[in-house]
Amino acid sequence: MITSAPLTYGQLAIWRDVESVPKHRWHEPNLAQTWALPVGIGMPAVREAIAALVRRHESLRTTYDLTDPAALRQVAHPPQPPDVRVERTAEPQADLDAVREQCARKPFGLIREPAWRATIVAAADTPTHLVLAQHHIVADGAAMAILKRDFFAALAGTLDDAVTGPATIAAHEQSPAGRRRAAAALDYWAKLFTEIPSPIAQTPPYVEARLVSRALARAARRAAARLRVSVANVVLAAYCAGLFALVDDHRLAVRVLSSNRFDPYRRDVVTSMNQWISVPIDRPSGPDLAGLVREVVNRTRVAYAYAAYDVDRMFQLLDEAGQRRAQYDSTWSFNFIPRGPDEPETSLADVDAAGAQEQTVSWATPFSSVGPRCYLRVIDGADLTFELRVPVGWSAVAAEVLRRMHQALLDADRAG
């Protein structure tokens, strides 16, 4: 049976970010991942596991009705055997990046077919890896982890066909309780627009300042352990410290990306729930990062309670406040991507043994042109990888922000 529902707030937020992207960049919202398959697994088992994902996750059989821009809808279709491509190669490991890039760079037509694709990489007839790519509206980073978990459960024969999908979230959001929650979120935004200075609108093209540092991974983890907070909060505090060093304002707003998976009915749904939420941060009274960490923890805790909201209504509030969408997009933004649950833990001793040699800031083509104009993405791993995207004219500012963050994290480590 075909069913239809409004877009969730998370899906709508993604669509508003990408709806004006020109055709030659339609691939930019795509995400891709590669999974190594168990030795000895056969092609039929891999195909059946992918089919099990389609049965279980409504997003993998959803198209989108974009006819009315003010009333967008998602259309869920009955499960069908998925069309899975097989890429045979003599050297699967060597060719994985090329296959993944090919999968991710081909755009999706959201209206005509579900916006995902799978490719089995095989040596002759033996599957070795699965590459899965999807449009961001289908699955965010947390949802990709759910797909991986469920795929391997299906291979092991332990995944049931219980259906989950974003229509459940849409129903909650349209309920009386959901509407009250959305109204409270808009009240938060309306108050915020009166309390923080308006950012200066910046325009493309963009450049990315990049820094990879194992010493900063050590510093952030030690500071987080000492202060009993997450590494993400320590790094966000260092980001704010870097920004405060460059402005005279006593308060700034930093947009953080919320996963919005706090409610039990949301946690296992494969869809995109990510939404930006602005967090007002007050300038600390002293140079110690600990005070700024506490400010970040307290302010983000409040902000996350209002992080699921109707982005169209928020844009109306922007208009009423005399601000512009471009100004909103120019707010300094922050996204911390944590180490995956199946990635090996790197101990502080291992980090110390690697030495404290630092790479300098390098410059690259930005990871995407979609989303905020001033955007720091931090990827956690054995190293911390900082990717700060800014308009080209702000390259010196980006380098200085990273330098100030670097110093703040090292100082926080020494303070312990």
Domains of the chain from N-terminus onward: 3-171 (3.30.559.10), 185-415 (3.30.559.30)
When the pLDDT of each residue in the chain is averaged and rounded to a whole number, the result is 92
How high is the pLDDT of residue 164?
Answer: 84
Average pLDDT over residues 187-210: 88
Cα 64 to Cα 73: distance, rounded to the nearest angstrom: 6
pLDDT category at 89 given cuts 50, 70, 90 is confident
Average pLDDT over residues 239-259: 94
Instruction: Provide the CA 386 distance to its chain's centre, in angstroms.
Output: 14
- Indicate whether 40 pLDDT > 70: yes
394 φ, ψ (degrees, to nearest 5): -110, 20
pLDDT single digits (tens) 359-399: 689 999 998 888 899 999 999 999 999 999 999 999 999 99
pTM of the full structure: 0.92
Contact yes or no for 170/297 (Cβ under 8 A): no
pLDDT single digits (tens) 268-302: 999 999 999 999 999 988 889 999 999 999 999 99
Q: CA dist 286 to 54, 103, 152, 242, 283, Å? A: 54, 49, 50, 14, 9
How high is the pLDDT of residue 200?
Answer: 79
How high is the pLDDT of residue 135?
Answer: 98
Q: Which of 62-71, 235-244, 276-285, 324-333 has the lowest mean pLDDT?
A: 324-333
How high is the pLDDT of residue 353?
Answer: 47
- Indicate whether 348 pLDDT > 60: no
